Amino acid sequence: MSEPALLDVKCLVAGYGNKTVLHDVSFQVMPGKVLTLLGHNGCGKTTTLKAILGLNDRAKGEVWLGGRRVDQEPVSARVAQGLRLLPEGRGIFATLTIGENLDVVADRNCRVPDSRIGVQEVLKLFPALAGRLSTLAGSLSGGQQQMLALGLALLGSPRCILLDEPSIGLAPNLVERLFDMVREVCRSAGVGAVLVEQNVSASMKIADHVTILNNGAVVFDGSPDEARESNFWHFF
């Protein structure tokens, strides 16, 4: 019997105003696995992540997390159940120190009985942040800001992380390090991840599964090897 999906997205339809951007998008994320969501600019990748988290008012369809349907619940309830978003740009509080960033999010997300990742665990994962707790987050380098952003997304009891183009603005070696960290966190903590990326080659390296969108619809859904064999570049 196959393992149940951690995140199950069924027939997702979403848009803005009168425009429908997503058409019946469906995919599954397994525990500890990384699903890379690819597609050209404007194909609906970010809209998919927002719709999963409940940030799109016009979203329809079903979102199941760990066997529980969550698409009727507000954003805060979905986050409490373990859905996390690392937003595009810098997902940090720039005018707060690193320590304050971690404290303020931990204060809301780690005071639950099933909390698995606290501030100390995040600092062990990202030792570069540990010695600089009183440094303003906005003054960190791009790579360190993304580490902090990932750390914030992990605090509490994450079950599935939605990463929206985390490589933007980072040097290639930093992208590789960051993606290695994502893969490591997913495997060690059994956390699922949906990785939306423009950097196709780097994201394919850590992908366990690939889904490709074209004009808001799924045009490919399979393993990275199948994607390579099917000449997936023609979708871009």
Partner 1 sequence: MLFLDLLADGVVTGCAVGVVAVTFTMIYSTTRVFHVAHAGIYTVAGYSTWFLTTRGLPFWLAIICSIAVCAAVGALIQHQLYTRLARRDAPPLVLLIASLGALVVIQNLMAALFSPNILQIPADWRVLTVGIGSIRLSMPQILLAVSSLVIFAGLLAWSRYTSLGKRTRAVAANEFLAEITRLEPRRVYITVMAIASGVLAVPGSLTALDHGLQPYTGTLVLLTATIAMIAGGMGNLFGAFVTSVILAALQTTSTLVIPGQWSIAATFGLFVILMIVAPTGLFARRPR
Query: Which residues contribute to the site for partner 1 (CB under 8 A)?
Result: 53, 55, 75-76, 79-80, 84-85, 87, 91-96, 100-101, 103-105, 107-109, 136, 138-139, 152
Residue number with CB closer to partner 1 (37 or 83): 83
Residue number with CB closer to partner 1 (116 or 187): 116
**C-beta of residue 215 within 8 angstroms of C-beta of residue 43:** yes
Tally of CA atoms within 13 A in the half-sphere of 112 that contains its CB: 17
Residue number with CB closer to partner 1 (5 or 106): 106
Pairing of strands 68-69, 160-164: unpaired
Residue number with CB closer to partner 1 (80 or 174): 80
Q: What are phi and psi of 7, to 5 degrees?
A: -120, 125
Residue number with CB closer to partner 1 (107 or 229): 107
To partner 1, the closest distance from the beta carbon of 10 in angstroms equals 22
Distance CA 63, CA 25 (A): 11
To partner 1, the closest distance from the beta carbon of 223 in angstroms equals 30
To partner 1, the closest distance from the beta carbon of 204 in angstroms equals 27
Pairing of strands 83-86, 217-222: unpaired
To partner 1, the closest distance from the beta carbon of 20 in angstroms equals 19
Helix, coil or strand: residue 82: coil
Helix, coil or strand: residue 5: coil
* Closest C-alpha among 87, 196, 89 to residue 138: 89
To partner 1, the closest distance from the beta carbon of 73 in angstroms equals 13
Residue number with CB closer to partner 1 (139 or 223): 139
Residues in CB range of 144: below 8 A, 6 or more apart: 128, 129
To partner 1, the closest distance from the beta carbon of 94 in angstroms equals 6
Residues in CB range of 225: below 8 A, 6 or more apart: none
Residues in CB range of 101: below 8 A, 6 or more apart: 92, 93, 137, 148, 152
